[in-house]
Amino acid sequence: MIGIDLGTTNSLVAVCDENGPRVLANELGEDLTPSVIAVAEDGTMLVGRAARDRLISAPESGRAFFKRDMGTNAGYQFGGRRWTPVECSALVLREMKRIAEVHLGREIDSAVITVPAFFHDQQRQATVDAAKIAGLKVERLLNEPTAAALAYGYNRQDELSTLLVFDLGGGTFDVTVLECFEGVVEVKASSGDGRLGGEDYTDAFATWVAKELGYTAPKEQEMKWRNTLEHLKRRLSVEETVEVQIGVKAAPVSRIDFIEATKHITARLWPAVRRALSDAQLTPKQIEAVLLVGGASRMPAVQDMVQRDLGQEPQRSLDPDRVVALGAAVQQALCAGGAAVKDLVLTDVCPHSLGVEVSKALLPGHVQPGYFDPILDRNTTVPVSRSRTYCTMHPQQDEALLKVYQGESRLTKDNHLIGQVRIPGLRSTPGQEKGGVFDVRFTYDMNGILEVEVTILSSQKKLTEVFEQRPGTMSQEQIAEALRKLTPLKVHPREAPANRARLERAQRLFAELVGLLRESLSHELDLFEAALATQDSKLITTAAERLDAFMRPYFANED
């Protein structure tokens, strides 16, 4: 078993043994593998850095940020077919599995996978489907901030503390309040925004540049321009001013400009923190440590906000990029009963309220449908099982349609429909007790997946096969079909991922350079391709080293 952080921007894989958790690097020696897939010119499937580089020169050849579409019916067209977010995620998961197999020298068939705490049921189910396609059984879906707290708690099993995990990733924002004492990590509350992250900062920056500096990239240059802005954004986390190169002009942009351009996004962070604190019934003063997680929490404006509003310096002992994967590995060891973590216990909460739709008789004779009746309140400790009793509107009514919703609004139209159950056999016969009355039991497990059981009280008939037809989730046949479609895309053994990545990078640089430099690169590239053709590992290594040395200065900022 392994722990996988399947991120919007990057993914990581980790293991935990008696020496503690550690992240496993990919063939390029990097811990972070971009969550990007693309199809190369020759039809080879690319995952990771090679894919990201390919998207810069050929934006239509693949896809990034598909995690944002998990659990929806989104589709992307590239490589001559349509791809779903689940299939794209499956390829990244399969790559993580492969990296772990190379390190550990054995086959891996199950994993703990992290998801944003705010992922709803369909998004979780989509993640489980992606894992199945990748050939992995999901041992546990673990909320990302909980994973971070586990990694933190691993080293401090005998200290008591109340923690706040502030997790701002590429596409999602999660806040979680936890208590750690004597090896027990207990989640008190969690809150967040499923569509708020570092990428929104890049978008806002692009909008600002368009308005203030009058430049918008033409369609075919969009990926490249975004990449440029992404790097400037990161540099602004450490430098006071950077220069934006637009054609032959260079315009200075200060950190203050960036903060101003993105302040409407930063303003969306605090309400989630406030809600998590109030659900946990704590004040900022009662928080003993703040953990920052996710690459976007590196931005000074975000750190300043945390420090100012929570009144304390955030913890810096754990790397925000790696902490979630490390925690997933600790959880993996917990599931496997590893000796390294025998004293650690975890309890989690369900992040959303879950309930059903009901009608209310607000005035006599006037029934108003569309109200949300929560059965499980948000931030209830899981695993949990709770039931409520409902009855039909009319004694002659034979059937009811039970609609299950997730959310916090009073009206179901503002919440998220996650499934429905048709309940037949409810008609009440004269003299019958409990006619038209039924129990609805919600059971929410540690993976954040909901099971609904309906019991008709008059007949004691039970219905449990509820969510099999949830929209967005895949049937066994669909999973088998997706597997079949992905199989021909197996990476050719000659096409070692490191060499593919090198070729994509060289191609991308080739598109950027002109004149003599381009010719020199072309020469190095020819030598490398010739070496690959010989399949002689010594020749390949020498040619690869030459090519890398040529390219290094151009990518010094990126890696």
User: Which parts of this chain interact with ligand AMP (CB under 6 A)?
Assistant: 7-10, 169-170, 197-199, 230, 233-234, 237, 294-296, 298-299, 321
Taking the complex as a whole, the smallest distance from the CB of residue 300 to ligand AMP amounts, in Å, to 9
Cα–Cα nearest to 191, from 95, 276, 304: 276
Alpha helices in 23-155 (DSSP H): 49-57, 85-104, 121-133, 144-154
Contact by Cβ (8 Å): 452, 442 = yes
Q: Within the chain, what is the greatest distance between any pair of CA atoms?
A: 95
CB closer to ligand AMP out of 329 and 440:
329
CB closer to ligand AMP out of 258 and 528:
258
CB closer to ligand AMP out of 237 and 478:
237
CB closer to ligand AMP out of 233 and 352:
233
**How far apart, in whole angstroms, are the C-alpha atoms of residue 316 and residue 312?**
12
Q: Which residues pair with 455 in a beta bridge?
A: 439, 462
**How far apart, in whole angstroms, are the C-alpha atoms of residue 482 and residue 486?**
6
Taking the complex as a whole, the smallest distance from the CB of residue 33 to ligand AMP amounts, in Å, to 11
Taking the complex as a whole, the smallest distance from the CB of residue 292 to ligand AMP amounts, in Å, to 11
**How far apart, in whole angstroms, are the C-alpha atoms of residue 240 and residue 237?**
8
CB closer to ligand AMP out of 205 and 372:
205
Count Cβ atoms below 10 Å from residue 283 Cβ, excluding itself: 10
Contacts of 17 (CB under 8 A, 6+ apart): 333, 338, 340
CB closer to ligand AMP out of 255 and 500:
255
Could you tell me the two tokens for 67? Answer: 């995690």
Taking the complex as a whole, the smallest distance from the CB of residue 141 to ligand AMP amounts, in Å, to 17
Contact by Cβ (8 Å): 23, 330 = no
Q: Which residues pair with 178 in a beta bridge?
A: 163, 187
Taking the complex as a whole, the smallest distance from the CB of residue 287 to ligand AMP amounts, in Å, to 22
CB closer to ligand AMP out of 32 and 341:
32
Taking the complex as a whole, the smallest distance from the CB of residue 34 to ligand AMP amounts, in Å, to 9
The total number of residues written for the chain in this structure: 559
Tell me the pairing of strands 450-456 and 184-193: unpaired
Residue with smallest beta-carbon separation from ligand AMP: 198
Taking the complex as a whole, the smallest distance from the CB of residue 64 to ligand AMP amounts, in Å, to 11
